[in-house]
Amino acid sequence: MIGRRVSPPARPVGITLLALLALLAGIAHVVGALQAFGAIPAIGGAGVGFFVSDPGDGIIQIVAAVISAAVAGGLWVMQSWARKAVVVIAALNIVVALFTQIDGGETWLNALPAVLINAAILLYARSPRIRAALDA
């Protein structure tokens, strides 16, 4: 029929949750950047606020915020590149979690929560149902 609008495929609940988590991560990166640039105080162990100045970290946080926002938007509108980005980010997060914990003198058990969460995200994003939904 002429003029009939085709509705987009329904967004899976898991993709909606991943999009919201990516958005929250972006917001956290913006706060981290503001703290690194000394615009807002960081909170110490005793709840005392202190100002830091680390412009290099601030720039990295801004880049991470932009990437997180882009991935959140891509997931929200069901873009296939966003699913691929989630796979790459989850895989990198597993490697980073292992190296930062073990290299810092901690045991692998300290990295286990981050590894398990990112492995679940990785497996979910690579599942046939999600691939079909986002790569269509």
98-123 pLDDT, tens per residue? 888 777 777 778 888 999 999 999 99
Which of 45, 15, 40 has the alpha carbon at shortest distance from 30? 40
For 22, counting Cβ atoms within 10 Å of its Cβ (0-12 exposed, 13-18 middle, 19+ buried), the class is: buried
pLDDT band at 54 (very low <50, low <70, confident <90, very high): confident
Adjacent-strand bridge partners of 49: 43
**40 Cβ contact partners less than 8 Å away, ≥ 6 residues apart:** 31, 34
Taking alpha carbons only, the member of 76, 77, 71, 117 closest to residue 94 is 117
Enumerate the domain spans of the chain. 12-77, 79-136
Q: What is the pTM of this model?
A: 0.80
